[in-house]
């Protein structure tokens, strides 16, 4: 049973934490409501301030009220996690109109930041 459509635009990132010893990040964002169905942006090479401007659509089901955002640095071998954030849809999106914000990617234990992600989230019932 669908509870509307969630449209998520990953606009850009800024001040992403450098994971590479040499050069800048090759960053991409993985986003999902549940781990079985992940979507991801393209990889933007060699910058800590990437611009994606990509929009993703999710069909919402009951009790799906968290959007998970994970930013990774794409490496030749595997990937490094730059940071992640969970957006509470009940608190910020449902019944509130578009959510347009820079979300911080907290460092471990919440001390400092690994950068920010500009997201626009819209819910259409």
User: Domain of 84: which CATH number?
Assistant: 2.60.40.150
**Tokens standing for residue 46:** 């060699």
Collapsing DSSP states into helix, strand and coil, what is residue 85? strand
- The SS3 assignment for 50 reads coil
User: Do 31 and 56 touch, CB atoms closer than 8 A?
Assistant: yes
What span, in angstroms and rounded, lies between the C-alpha atoms of 90 and 113?
A: 24
Three-state SS for 26? coil
Q: How many CB atoms lie within 10 A of CB 72?
A: 21
Q: How many domains does the chain have?
A: 1
Per-residue tokens: 113? 């930041």
At residue 20, the pLDDT reads 65
Q: Which domain holds residue 48?
A: 2-124
Residues with pLDDT less than 70, the chain: 1-2, 20-21, 110
Predicted pLDDT of residue 13: 98
pLDDT of residue 108: 73
Which helix (H) or strand (E) segment holds residue 16: the answer is none
């Amino acid at each position: 049973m669908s509870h509307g459509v969630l449209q998520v635009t990953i606009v850009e990132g800024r001040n992403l934490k450098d994971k590479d010893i040499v050069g800048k990040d090759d960053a991409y964002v993985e986003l999902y409501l549940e781990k079985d169905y992940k979507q991801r942006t393209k990889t933007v090479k060699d910058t800590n301030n990437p611009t994606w401007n990509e929009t993703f659509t999710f069909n919402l089901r009951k009790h799906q009220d968290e959007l998970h955002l994970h930013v990774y640095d794409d490496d030749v071998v595997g990937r490094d996690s730059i940071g992640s954030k969970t957006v509470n849809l009940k608190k910020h999106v449902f019944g509130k109109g578009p959510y347009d914000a820079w979300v911080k990617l907290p460092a471990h234990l919440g001390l400092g930041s690994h950068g920010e992600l500009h997201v626009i989230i819209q819910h259409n019932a």
